[in-house]
Amino acid sequence: MKKSMTLMIGALIMAGLASGCSSNATEEELRQLEELKAEVASMETEVQNLESEKAALQKSIADKDAELKKCNDDKTVVQQRLQGM
Amino acid sequence: MNVLVKIGFVSLLAMLLSAGVLAQDVEKEQWQQQMNEWTAKRNDLNNKLTALRAEVEALKNQEAEKIAAVKQCEEELLAMVGATAADVSAFEAVLQKIDDKLGELSRLSNQDLWNRRGELDEVQNWIADAKKNKLSVIPRYYDRLADFQTRLDALRNTLKQYSDSGMDMMTYTVGTWAKDRDCLWNIARKKRIYDNAFLWPKIYQGNRNLIKNADVIEPGWVLKIPKKAPLTSEEKSAERSYWRNKGN
């Protein structure tokens, strides 16, 4: 009887140590980590959108440059044709 | 004492279970490591976003400047020929009309094109009028008009080939004597054929594969009607031969 008592007390102490000494993250901390991950995911999406917008703007600017060049060339041609009339 | 042992076992079991559940969770140290990694990632993205937003804003301004420059250039171009935006709209409508008509004519069969060949001259006049417009010196319109002329010339070429092949020949389906009084003489006399009965040998000679005897034509025959013109020597010869046989 004394032996089983000792065994039980020992087990209780071990269990107490096992549960009390492991430093796990709290619910609040886990939530904080999840929020951070979500924030990063959202930012990655925003980066992708901005990259797309940037590429579209660069293309549009290149198109406008070509249009402007064509227009200036047209002006030269028109000038020549009007002089030739 | 027995009760105490039981309580002890139950407590032990509860603690072991709770320890097992917690073992599935993230340990503090691991959590901290992840927090550090994700925070660094967020900071990098934040910097990247700030830079990207600035770049996009600068590009938007640049685009707006380019649009304004193109607009100004277009206005200067129109000013050079003394045209307004309204003139441009009206001119473009004329060009569209020519484009549509050429498209319509080019989709016709050769026979239908032949029947509507007069419309080619009409289109030619539209092109000529458009070329008189001051806007026609602007390259995009100048080139478009040149393209119209090329398309029109191609249609004319198609018609010429069709005409040269003799496929443009008009046809006439013979009716009955009782109802239509159709004979070569009467057919040639019809206004829409030759309006001249004496040209009947043209029909005779042009359809010798069908007509063996000029006095006999069958209802339902589709006769080719050669173009109106004076009788050729062959046609005159065929006519003489007919009268000779008639006299015998």
Q: List pLDDT tens digits, range B194-225.
A: 999 999 999 999 899 899 999 999 999 989 88
Tell whether the model's pLDDT for residue B226 goes beyond 80. Answer: yes
Token pair recorded at residue B12:
């032990």
Does B137 share its domain with B98?
yes
Residue B27 maps to a domain: no
Tell whether the model's pLDDT for residue B7 goes beyond 80. Answer: no
**Looking at B130, B164, B198, which one is the last position of a domain?**
B164
Does B109 share its domain with B146?
yes
pLDDT recorded at residue B14: 47
pTM metric for this prediction: 0.59
Interface with A, mutate which of B57, B59, B81 (most A CBs under 10 A): B59
Mean pLDDT calculated for residue range A79-83: 91
Residue B174 maps to a domain: yes
Residue B60 maps to a domain: no
Residue B148 maps to a domain: yes
In 3-state terms, what secondary structure has residue A24? strand
* Alpha-carbon distances of B25 from A32, B35, B150, B235, rounded to whole Å: 14, 15, 79, 111
For chain A, what is the domain count? 1
Residue B206 structural domain: 170-247
Residue A61 structural domain: 2-84
Beta-carbon separation of A57 and B42 below 8 A: no
**Looking at B114, B142, B164, which one is the last position of a domain?**
B164
Residue B16 maps to a domain: no
- What long-range pairs does B29-36 form, CB within 8 A, spacing at least 24? B29/A23, B30/A25, B31/A25, B31/A29, B31/A30, B31/A33, B34/A33, B35/A29, B35/A32, B35/A33, B35/A36
Beta-carbon separation of B74 and A37 below 8 A: no
pLDDT recorded at residue B167: 65
For chain B, what is the domain count? 2
Q: Which CATH number does the domain housing residue B228 bear?
A: 3.10.350
From the list A9, A23, A53, the residue facing B28 with the nearest CB is A23
Residue whose structure tokens are 């193109």: B70
Q: How far apart are CA B32 and CA B40, in angstroms?
A: 12
Q: How confident is the model at residue B120 (pLDDT cuts 50, 70, 90)?
A: very high
pLDDT recorded at residue B8: 55
**Looking at B138, B164, B190, which one is the last position of a domain?**
B164
Residue B175 maps to a domain: yes
Residue B11 maps to a domain: no
